[in-house]
Amino acid sequence: MSEVQLDARRLLCPLPVIRTQDRIEQLQRGDRLTVYCTDPGAIHDIPAWCRVHGHAVLEIVRHDEEIRIRIEVQG
């Protein structure tokens, strides 16, 4: 199991979702990905993308303008 990070700051949606999708495609089941972003839309879109693909959102943390979303690859 690996822990991977993705910097999607300053990207507007849906680009953070696309970057997340493309990164997860390279990961294995059980791997964990932490995405850093600044577009508030990502709070809705990345979990929505995870739901339709069956991945688990472990944590969403918002600190000032920055959002951190931790995902476990499952689907």
Partner 1 sequence: MRYNEGRFPSLIVKIRMNQPRKAVALISGGLDSLLAAKVILEQGVHVEGINFFTGFCVEGHTHAIRKKERNRPKRNNALWVAEQLGIKLHIVDIIEEYKDVVLNPRHGYGANLNPCLDCKVFMVRKAREWIERKGFDFIITGEVIGQRPKSQRKDTMPVIAVESGADDRLLRPLCARNLPPTLPEREGWVDRERLHGFEGRSRKPQMALAERFGFSEYAQPAGGCCFLTDAQYSRKLADLWQARGERRYELDDIMLLKVGRHLRPRPHFKMIIGREDGENRFLEGYRKQFTHLLTRSHNGPLVLIDGEPADEDLDLAARITARFSQGRDAEAVDVEIHTRDGATLTRQVKPISGEQIPSHWYL
Q: Name the active-site residue from 4, 9, 11, 13.
A: 13
Residue spans of alpha helices (H) in the chain: 15-25, 42-53
Cβ neighbour number for residue 62 with a 10 Å cutoff: 11
Does position 71 bind partner 1 by CB under 8 A? no
Smallest gap, in angstroms, from Cβ of residue 20 to partner 1?
A: 10
| Binding pattern for the stretch 40-59 against partner 1, x by CB under 8 A and - elsewhere | xx--xx--xx-xxx------
With tokens 């472990």, the residue in question is 58
Distance CA 72, CA 65 (A): 23
Catalogue the active-site residues.
13
Residue ranges in contact with partner 1 by CB under 8 A? 10, 12-15, 17-18, 21, 39-41, 44-45, 48-49, 51-53, 65
